[in-house]
Structure formats: C-alpha cells, structure tokens
Structure 1
Amino acid sequence: MLFKTKIGKKEAYLYILLEHQSSPDELMPFRLLKYLCNIMDNHLKSQKAKKLPLVYPLVIYHGKRKYPFSTNLSDLIDAPKELVDSYFLKPFQLMDLGQIDDKVLKQHAWSGVMEFALKHIFARDILPYLKEIADILHKLTLSGGRHYIEIVLQYLLERGELSDQSKFFSLINKEIFPDVGEKIMSLQNN
C-alpha cells in the first residue's frame, strides 16, 4: 500500500508492504529498494518533478517466528564492511574533465587519452587535439595498446568535428601507426 502525504509543504510517501509469505525473504531490503526506485520514478514522471520524494518503507511481517534477516540493504552487499560503509549509497565520485588541465590528463597515458578525447570531442575541429596526443597514442600502440587506440580514434572520427578528414588519416599514418589508420578507414567504409 502506498500512501501520499505532506511533510511541511513537501510531498512524501509511506510505503507499507504487507508480508504474506510463509517464509521471510533474505533479499527483502533489495526488493524494497526496487519498489522505492519505482515509486520515485513514477513520481518524477507523473508530477514532472525535478526532485525525488521521501518514501518511508514499512514492512509488516506476521510470520510465526521472529524475522531472522537483516533489514539493512548494506548487509546484502558481498564486500568488506569497510568498503560497503565507505561507498555504498554514498554520493558518487565525479570526474569533471572540463575542470582538469590537459597536462594532467596527458600524464596518465592509458586513461588520459580517452579522457582527453572525451573532454575535447565537441571542439569545432578535433584535429589540433589529436596532434596534441599523437605521441602518446604512438607509444601506447607500441606497448600493446593498438586495439585501445583504434577505439579512441574511431570515437574521434565518428563523434568529433573534422575540418579535413584526409589530414586526420595522414596524421594517424605518419605519427601514430600506419596500420591503425588503415583499420579505421576500413571500418568507416563498412
């Protein structure tokens, strides 16, 4: 049963789940989470709201024996307690690439080239940015990262703006790795 009420001037919901199972459910906290998310999602859609409502879950259990399982969702997570306490249902970590200097991104070769590509993908011309990381891409190709580099370059080609596509492939063939440019060109033609 779902009851809608007001707390102050804000809408809130009281969700009462009548437990009619003959045996308690160890995953009840997870079931409740799914129900709560559905209620919140429905509220956002039906009310065209920008904020989530408070939903207070209440499970009424009427089994013959005492309820044997934890009511805490975090107890269901199969990880060390310290990690669960530190990360589960906490604010997510945000990496705002627009606020990170390009020099810092380029210091982390493997992750940095993709982050650099993501950061500059909406530039009017992606070619100058490709030139900035060409040497890093070349080194990564030589150290076993060829497939990864193909993915980065394919992303730049498909999503970025290019003033001159022939210069893009020329740069790849001369400064990164000839076969990589050919592979991307063949993918583009398919």
Structure 2
Amino acid sequence: MVEIWEAKSKKEKADELPVIVPLVVYHGKDRWKIGTTLGETITGYKNLPEAIKKLVPNYKYLLYDLSQYTDDEIKGEAQLRILFTTLRDIVTKDSKGLQDSIFRAISYLRELDNKQTGIEYFETLMRYIFNARADLTRVV
C-alpha cells in the first residue's frame, strides 16, 4: 500500500492518494489461522495504550482463503477459475489430484473465444506449476 501511495505522490506528483482496499488471497496447505486485521500481526499491539493504538495502523483486510473453496464454489470467468483452482491445488493436492486440476483447467480454457489467449494462458499455467512443484518432473 505504501509503495502504491509513494508511486502516486512521487512519480505522478498527485496531491491526493487513492483508496486501497487490502486483499489477501491465501492458498496454503492449511486454513488461514491469522486474524484479519494488521494489529493482530503486530507484536504487542493489543497491550498498547489506546493513545498509542490510535497512531498505529490497524486496518482490516479482506481474506479469500482458497483452501476452503470447492470447484463449484469458485465462480467467474475461465481465467479466474483456473487461477484460483490452481493456486488452491498446487499445495493441497498430490500429483494425481494436481493432474486432475490441470485437466479441469484445460476444460475451462475451451470456454475462451480467443484460442491464442488460451494457449498463452495454458503455457503460463504450466510454467507456474512446474516451477512450484519439483515432484512433477517425470511423465506419468
């Protein structure tokens, strides 16, 4: 957020800062266990005197914990469904489960009108998967 505001004020010479809604998209193996305010991540925040708390940022952020969503619950355009299911499955599925996720992504790509965009998106998807998962080095 600070970097966005700095860029706006320094590079663009803006007098006003844009509104930023903080969003966390989580895709770990386990469910998100941290609170949804910045103060919950700051050591000793809850024990600070109220006068000091007023001076320390403690915004709430939106949390999308992808680990808890099923395929049917992930909605949107094909690219968004591919992104979210891949992020969810990259750490939670075994090789076979991830392979199923890739095949599902391919079926989503068929929904795209622009086939060249679909091919480029698939290439990016595969690069991400093979970089994120070292256990997928041999053909099954």
TM-score of the pair, normalised by structure 1: 0.38
| Structure number with higher relative contact order (C-alpha < 8 Å, ≥ 6 residues apart) | 2
Q: Normalized per residue, which structure has more strand?
A: 1
| Higher-Rg member (1/2) | 1
